[in-house]
Amino acid sequence: MQRRILAGTVVCGFAATTVFAALPASAAMVPPSLSVVRPVSPLIDMPTSYPVQPELKVFPDLPEDASIARGVRPYDQIAPFLNTLMDTSDRVSAQVVGTSAQGRDIYLVTVTTPETTRQTAQQSDWRDLVKADPTAAAADATLQSEYKVPMWFNGNIHGNEWEGTDATLNYIEDLATSSDPATTEMLDDHRVYFTVTNNPDGRALGQRGTANGYDPNRDFITGATAEASIVRDLASVIQPTYFIDLHGYTDVLQVEPCGPPHGENYEYDLFVPHAYATALEIEDAVTAANIPGNTYYDPATAGVTETNTGFINIPYRDQRSGWDDWPPIFAPQYVAYQGAITNTVELPLGRSGDQPARAKVNIEVAEVVIDTVVDYVDEHSDALLDNQIEIFRRGEAGEPSREIPADVAPEDLAPGVPAEWTDIWDETDIYNADFPRAYVIPVGPGQRSDSDAQTLVQQLLVNGIRVDRLTAPARLDGNDYPEGSFYVDMHQPLRGLANVLLADGSDISDRVPDMYDISAWSLSLLWGAQVTRIGETTDPAPTTAVEPVTEAPLTGFVSTGSGTLSFQPRGVADWQAVNALLAEGVALTQRSNGFIEVSGDAATRVLLEEAAATFGVDFRLSGGSPAEGSIELDSVRIGYVGDAGDRDALTKVGFTGLVPVTAATLATGEVDLSTIDLLYVGTGLSFTPEQQAGVDRVTAFIAAGKPVVGRGAGGAAFVSAYVAPLTAVTGTRGSNGIAIVDTPFESVLQGTQGTAFGYPFAWFPNPAPGVTVEQRYAADHTFVAGHWRSTPGQSIQDAAGQASAVSLTGPSGTRAFVFGTSPTFRAHPVGAFSDIARAVFWAADEPVVVEPTPTPTPTVAPTPEPTPEPTVAPTPEPTAVPTAEPSPEPTDEPTAEPTSAPGPTLAPTASATPVPGTGSGPLAQTGAADVSSLGWLALAAGMVGVGLVVIGRARSKTSTR
């Protein structure tokens, strides 16, 4: 816990040791176990010739593998199957491109005719030319005729959607053993890639998500999972012209393209014609196959029937709301930015009934899908390659986004372009980006956090975005930027991906009734760095000098000279440094303005040099001694109730020794709350009547004055039930996006980014006396981007100007801090991780006991909790028409004013299962000025003949601003 440094300390020769403790010997400092930016998989090493046929490691038999009950191939049989194929065919190559959270190999299988080293090198050169110089590629006749046009099939990204793996393995075997001349000719002209099981842990465990608690098919711009990041990395290496992602289950075969809203940054005039034409061919092939046990779409009822109607479900045609391609978080929507046509394929039959029989039907259906797509790509190779080249050319040229007219007709299209889609297209499909000339990520005085800026650049680089650095100061669009600032020129082949990552996004609340998943994600607004849009895409290139950036390491320094050093923690890496230094025994003191001071003695400097090099912190000479109201910081051990995002956000800011807490482990005594310093409540905490012992332990924890940090409805409900009354209201169910927030100067969150993510947003109306408003939603222009349906009492207008974060001190002295935003959502709002650290260190400050008021003991009635995150445990099968929200959300009704403490004031839905993990602590800013405080005087007896008088003021935590 922190100890407050008291004003007026007079200790002859002792004052320095009060602030700066002696240092132990140190090993080299290391960053947290989880990196904010997941690096490119080091195992991706593409062959220099084909075939490449290593002996794949065979994993031990696992009798409890959930695949067995489904009647499909268990994971441990995949490597032997591929090894056998490689022993008998020179068409099949297999390699390990990464490993899962539990250490299982993830395979990439390539099927093509043999290539010499020279031929493979030529194919690589052509692939690179297509992206680097699309104009030259379009004019290269040899490339056009001899390039092996790539296609890619991804299976089993959701672990308990098994059959894509079995279908791809069967198809690989067919290609490997076929003597049909047409197959040989197809493989002469193409490389066919298969990631046969993208989520092997989920496959074996029988769960949708990864073993570390995430849905990998929501992770394509964050990098919380190895599984999604491997597809991210392969996308730029394979550079497919077509990509299929095999899923399940929707009661009837469902094949994209999607309905609106469509992603603004795609070249949709190049995308939708082939995506829809392929879906129609799949429909014809599957219905013609008339597979026994299969189901079909009934257009008359928009339902499912066992009668062969000749239809499958194609969302672009049949489901115009609730299944969209708006966010780039899904595999197909991400890979499309590499110039690919993509479809998500949802196999029909789910997990109920006769599992093996249903799996057999799904495998047969999937094989027809794969075969049809391969035939389509083979027949339309020239057009698909031309499409990819044109997508890259438009980006490199910086052409404006091309709008498709609402009344587009077949005769408006170029010869040979599929036209069936034009019958459906209307004004509701029109979404286009307004591309800038560039984005600038400043460094130095104009940047909120240099380390967050460098981290953002690292994220852009691992996604293949071209980034430059200013080699001299420059004036751009009326603003001055120092040398070293980062420059993202939007005239680049991947400009669609660059813009979807960096643009603010759009508020589409009034355009569509429902969304399938998130509606906003901007790295510029959520990753902590200041990013500036420069000009319009048609503007000429600036004349400033730049150089390419291939890496963006964190850089820091330690000022020379004697005296106290200080730094202001703003970015995630700064808080990592705080925790690392505390772990090394370095004494840190935080002033009320948020600056942290540390001794400049020789022993400490050694550690500060390590911290500067590892975390990019600038330690500057500060001069002076700790001011009144400064606090001495200690490491904080956190117990957390939450999901994977909560766990990993805490870990990524450097907290170690995290203790997962659940109602069950509290009730049994497996978790001892006396061993933790602070309880973090992310998803809420609910007890059954049989778990009264857990309620008693929580009550005792709060009675001891231990601190709490929470988020959203679950955190607010917990605080209201156990600490002090707190009313929270949530936005409309399913609403999510990015809002502008205003932070008072003296707030605990001082220095935070001015935007925040919510899914949904919550706010705290009419805070009671003693509740401090630490942040508010902006009163005007509140909502920047996303989708927020307007419902009475839960609309954007209702949230405007309301408290988005509050702090309070309960009768027992417990300090509580609650966010109404979603700072840990899927580990994506990286800039908000620092806010969590600030809140933790504020709450963990020494408690000040106030006069208690009677607070009834909480009952064992379950405390409702929200789940803004899709669960990673096995989930019920979706219906034929997917719902607009991927997971349960808080109720639609605003909450009522609470009466007194024990019951929560909010009724959210069931909570997510917490996932175990580790973490240790950063620091936070102090709150606002006090309105009531009473000085106290303590006299210490003389030591070594010297009298010591300590006079100080302990602040009450009840304050207003």
Phi, psi of 566 (to 5 degrees): -145, 160
Among this protein's residues, is 690 annotated catalytic?
no
CB environment 714-751: b (16+ within 10 A), e (fewer): bbbbbbbbbbbbbbbbbbbbbbbbbbbbebbebbbbbb
Integer Cα distance of 110 and 113 in angstroms:
10
Determine how many CB atoms are found less than 10 A away from the CB of residue 560: 8
The SS3 call for residue 643 is coil
Whether the CB-CB separation of 492 and 481 falls below 8 Å is answered with no
**Residue 326 CA to its chain's centroid (Å):** 16
Tokens of 633: 């910081």
Integer Cα distance of 289 and 634 in angstroms:
68
Q: Parallel, antiparallel, or unpaired: how do β-strands 659-660 and 638-641 relate?
A: parallel
Integer Cα distance of 698 and 104 in angstroms:
39
- Expressed in angstroms, the distance from the first to the final Cα of the chain is 25
Integer Cα distance of 316 and 319 in angstroms:
6
Q: Across the strands, what pairs with 479?
A: 476
CB environment 789-825: b (16+ within 10 A), e (fewer): beeeebbbebbbbbbbbbbbbbbbbbbbbbbbbbbbb
Determine how many CB atoms are found less than 10 A away from the CB of residue 455: 26
Integer Cα distance of 190 and 182 in angstroms:
12
How buried is residue 77: exposed, middle or buried, by Cβ count under 10 Å (0-12/13-18/19+)?
middle
Integer Cα distance of 228 and 234 in angstroms:
10
Half-sphere exposure for 217 (CA within 13 Å, toward CB): 29
Q: How is the beta sheet containing 242-248 ordered, strand by strand?
A: 92-99, 105-111, 190-195, 149-155, 242-248, 341-347, 254-255
The number of residues in the chain equals 961
Integer Cα distance of 225 and 644 in angstroms:
11
Among residues 115, 346, 396, 889, the one annotated as catalytic is 346
Residues labelled catalytic? 346
